[in-house]
Amino acid sequence: MSRCINQLGLGLVALVLMVFMALPASAQAAGWQPKFDAGQHVYVDPALANHASYPVNLSGLSKQLETVSDKHGVSVYVVAIERTTEGGAVPAVGRVNDLVLRWQGQADFPHDRFLVILWLRYADDPSQGSVAVNAGSELRQYNLTSSDLNSPSGPVNAAIKKYMPHDPNGAFVAIVQNVNSSIESVKSQRFFWSISPFILIGLVALGVGAFFYRKRKASYDELKTAYDKVAGNWQAMMDSANALHVRLHEGYMGFLSQQSDWKKMLKGSTLAQFTEAVKLFADFSSRLAKANAVFAEANAKAAKGGVFSPGNLAEAKAMLTSTVIVVEGKELPIEEATLFGGLVERSEYKPDELLNAMDVLFAQTNRQLNAIKLAMEDAQQKSRQLKDSFAVINDIKARAGADFASFEEKYTELEQAKAAIDAEMTSDPIKVADELTGLLSRTRQFKAQLETRFAG
């Protein structure tokens, strides 16, 4: 144990960034402690994964981490834990330190070149939490000391503020990307200084080399600035579009799921209006899904760029500014693909067109879906009311016996009209809506007439 503690003292760099308001200090509890597995890079507390209202799902993160961490051989592990009784100004600090201390005792743990990111989400308020980062000792040679990591311009601060709490995956990937950038920056500087001894042999040659390095660095920085600006605009548009999509999903997916066999069940005007509404929903969803995929791929490529390898960054910028984007409907989630399959037509967009006017498309989609939903629900409600009125009439008819003879003709007329509407109610409720309204009114008048005649 003494050896592990000494090793932790040399190799541990703890970075802590509070995501939201810190909670009062309280005693730290052992809590959930994941067992280290060299082949597992993402650990989620069952309390978070099975949360009744706000479950944590970090699917896809392992692959993203592998993409960005392999570049410099850093083993990255992300742990998400629900806070129970952990205390202190920053509760996540004790947890990540304790976790790394436990893992240091494992033979297959990468003792000197690792990055453990621990997210402690508060049980009493899932919108708040804290993040602590523990880094291996070898990373200190890349200016990743505690003071560097804790500085406002450090590799974690911007990532947490930008992505948490709405996009944990994005935050964790961005932290690793920023650490990569720090390593690349130091390596670039070392390369420059590695040629300094040649000043003794050829000062002129070194001067020329330094000139071209600065020129290349300036070109890369200019490209990086341009990409960051474009990426920032994309992020803003996607945040808005994602929020609108959540509203559509919460407002209508339950209703649409009830009509899962709508292509076979509906006919006529109801089918036409329903098809138009769900096609708009499918177009909105597929464009947004494609935009999210393109943006994630562009950011991954940009993360691989550097002063001496700007090609990936240039390609990433092109993906968000000039490369044609094709939307075919394959991007839809499984739940929506089941309902909307075959409705999305293949379309090509310029990057700035893909998310353009999504608010207009949302308004059209919302209007159409709301109209069809209200129309179908209104028809179904009136159908139930008509059925209830007939139940009363039939009861009176049974009690009246022969005295009902003078009302038989009117009764037969209404009954036949109801049968005709019932025949089309399931397949085309919108078509029979007006007829249903009129029949319901006449039936209620007839019921009132019978109740007056046979009162008592």
* Kind of pairing between the strands at 129-135 and 114-122: antiparallel
pLDDT confidence of residue 351: 87
Neighbours of 92 (CB within 10 A): 28
How far separated are the first and last CA of the chain, in Å rounded? 93
pLDDT confidence of residue 72: 86
pLDDT confidence of residue 27: 39
pLDDT confidence of residue 84: 78
Contact 73, 113 (CB under 8 A): yes
Query: Quick one: 270 exposed, middle or buried, by C-beta within 10 A (0-12, 13-18, 19+)?
Result: buried
pLDDT confidence of residue 168: 92
CATH class of 2-180: alpha beta
- Break the chain into its structural domains and give their ranges: 2-180, 223-356, 374-453
pLDDT confidence of residue 4: 40
Structure token pair of residue 447:
């019921």
> What are 195-248's pLDDT values in tens digits?
866 645 755 657 666 766 787 888 889 888 988 998 999 998 889 889 988 888
Neighbours of 269 (CB within 10 A): 15
Indicate the Cα dihedral angle 58, 130, 95, 31, nearest 10°. Answer: -70
User: Which of the residues in the chain have pLDDT under 50?
Assistant: 1-29, 199
pLDDT confidence of residue 50: 94
Region at 76 (left for phi over 0; alpha for psi -120 to 50; beta for the rest) = beta
